[in-house]
């Protein structure tokens, strides 16, 4: 495979440092499996030629990726790839968080960050079919796969119908089980909206991301089988660790 350097695939004076642009490109190449043949990143000099930059600039990029735990440099050998998987998260009419990831990661962690009762805002009332001011239970959770944080989510539930949502979630560690404990045996996804944007500082901290990282946000409404909304949630995924699959 003759690797013809197309060259100059990074741009200067744009407010984004070259080393960060290059780190992003290498991270993408790793997750695409471009380096699977050797299990290693190409030598620093080769990358420097490919991107048309100095070797030191490539080193800065690789240092950032090493900091993320994505690669590990070994003197005299090269830079080994430590991790490359992108977890696929399925979205269907019967989307269940834990279930979809079950086969891809050995251990799923769900932690309840906090919870409180809040009045519905315009933003939260509309998708739930309630009037602004109606009592909601707000749950903030962070989920991880094999120890790596994958998503932070905030969920809103009608407080009059599911008064024990927080307690049951804390006890059972699953929205589906918490619903079941309160008499709701089944529910379906009625709508999902997806946007992508830069992470803010909260998200950087919770998901252990490096600045400039991208968030894939899914805003979802779940309803019972009669069509009454039971949950409005905003789940923020670390974009470089996840892929969403839509099953229609």
Partner DNA sequence: AAAGATTTGTCCGTATGTATA
Partner DNA sequence: ATATACATACGGACAAATCTT
Tokens (6 digits) for 226 = 């009669």
Give the DSSP letter string of 101-132: HTTT-S-EEEEEEEEEEEE--HHHHHHHT--T
Binding partner selected for residue 56 from DNA, its own copies, none, CB under the kind-specific 5 to 8 Å limit: DNA
| Identity of the residue, 91 or 172, whose beta carbon is nearer to its own copies in the bound complex | 91
Region of 8-16, 147-155, 177-185, 222-230 interacting with DNA (CB under 7 A): 8-16
27 binds DNA (CB under 7 A): no
* Residue 69 three-state SS: coil
Q: Which of residues 49-108 bind DNA (CB under 7 A)?
A: 52-54, 56-57, 59-60, 62, 73-79
Binding partner selected for residue 54 from its own copies, DNA, none, CB under the kind-specific 5 to 8 Å limit: DNA
Q: Which of residues 207-226 bind its own copies (CB under 8 A)?
A: 210-212, 214-216
240 binds DNA (CB under 7 A): no
- Which distant-in-sequence residues (6+ apart) come within 8 Å of 222 by Cβ? 187, 188, 189, 190, 229, 230, 231, 233
DSSP state of 233: E
Region of 38-46, 149-157, 176-184, 186-194 interacting with its own copies (CB under 8 A): 186-194
């Amino acid at each position: 495979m003759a690797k013809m350097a197309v060259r100059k695939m990074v741009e200067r004076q744009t407010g984004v440092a070259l080393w960060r642009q290059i780190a992003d490109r290498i991270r993408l190449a790793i997750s695409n499996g471009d380096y699977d043949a050797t299990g290693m990143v190409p030598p620093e000099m080769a990358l420097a030629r490919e991107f048309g930059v100095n070797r030191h600039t490539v080193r800065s990029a690789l240092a950032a990726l090493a900091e993320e735990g994505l690669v590990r440099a070994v003197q005299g050998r090269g830079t080994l790839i430590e991790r490359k998987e992108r977890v696929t998260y399925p979205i269907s009419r019967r989307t269940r968080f834990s279930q979809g990831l079950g086969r891809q990661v050995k251990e799923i962690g769900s932690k309840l960050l906090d919870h409180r009762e809040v009045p519905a805002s315009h933003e939260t009332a509309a998708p739930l079919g309630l009037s602004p001011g109606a009592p909601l239970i707000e749950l903030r959770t962070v989920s991880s796969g094999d120890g790596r944080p994958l998503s932070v989510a905030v969920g809103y539930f009608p407080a009059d119908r599911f008064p024990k949502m927080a307690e049951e979630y804390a006890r059972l560690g699953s929205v589906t089980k918490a619903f079941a404990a309160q008499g709701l045996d089944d529910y379906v996804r009625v709508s999902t909206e997806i946007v992508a944007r830069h992470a803010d500082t909260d998200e950087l901290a919770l998901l252990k991301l490096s600045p400039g990282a991208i968030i894939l946000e899914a805003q979802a409404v779940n309803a019972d089988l009669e069509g009454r909304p039971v949950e409005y949630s905003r789940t923020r995924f670390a974009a470089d660790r996840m892929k969403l699959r839509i099953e229609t």
